[in-house]
Amino acid sequence: MKLATLKDGSRDGRLVVVSRDLSRAVHADGIATTLLDAVERWSQTQPQLAALSERLNAGAVPDSFAFDASQAAAPLPRAPQWCDGSAFLNHGQLMQQAFHLEPMPDADTVPLMYQGGSDDMLGGCDDVPLPSEAHGIDFEGEFGVIVGDVPMGCSARGARSRILLLVQLNDVSLRAMAPFEMKRGFGFFHAKPSTSFASVAVTPDEIGEAWRDCRVHLDLAIDLNGQWFGNPNGGEMHFGFDELVAHAALTRRLSAGTIIGSGTVSNAGGAKGSACITERRAIETIQHGAPRTPFMRFGDRVRMEARCDGAPVFGAIDQRVVPAPPPQE
d(CA 116, CA 94): 23
| Average pLDDT of the residues of the chain | 96
d(CA 25, CA 33): 15
User: pLDDT tens digits, residue range 161-175?
Assistant: 999 999 999 999 999
Q: Are 32 and 53 in contact (CB under 8 A)?
A: no
User: pLDDT tens digits, residue range 194-249?
Assistant: 999 999 999 999 999 999 999 999 999 999 999 999 999 999 999 999 999 999 99
d(CA 37, CA 80): 12
> Per-residue pLDDT averaged across 12-16, rounded?
98
Confidence of residue 101 (pLDDT cuts 50, 70, 90): confident
User: pLDDT tens digits, residue range 234-277?
Assistant: 999 999 999 999 999 999 999 999 999 999 999 999 999 999 99
> Per-residue pLDDT averaged across 87-99, rounded?
92
Q: Are 317 and 144 in contact (CB under 8 A)?
A: no
Domain boundaries, the chain: 2-71, 82-323
Is residue 7 predicted with pLDDT exceeding 90? yes
> Per-residue pLDDT averaged across 13-42, rounded?
98
Q: What is the 3-state secondary structure (H, E, C) of 172-191?
A: CEECCCHHHHHHCCCCCCCC
Amino acid 187: pLDDT: 82
Closest among 164, 181, 163 to 173, alpha carbons compared: 181
Whole-prediction pTM: 0.97
Closest among 122, 220, 208 to 168, alpha carbons compared: 220
CATH class of 82-323: alpha beta
Is residue 80 predicted with pLDDT exceeding 90? yes
d(CA 52, CA 20): 12
CB count, 10 Å around CB of 100? Answer: 8
Burial of 320 (0-12, 13-18, 19+ CB in 10 A): middle
CB count, 10 Å around CB of 68? Answer: 11
Q: How far is CA 135 from CA 57, 175, 196, 213, 267, in A?
A: 45, 6, 18, 37, 27
Amino acid 128: pLDDT: 98
Amino acid 182: pLDDT: 81
Amino acid 39: pLDDT: 98
Higher pLDDT: 105 or 230? It is 230
Tell how far CA 188 is from the center of its chain.
17
In DSSP notation, 37-99 reads HHHHTHHHHHHHHHHHHHHHHTT--TT-EE--GGGB--SSSS-S-EEEE---HHHHHHHHHHH
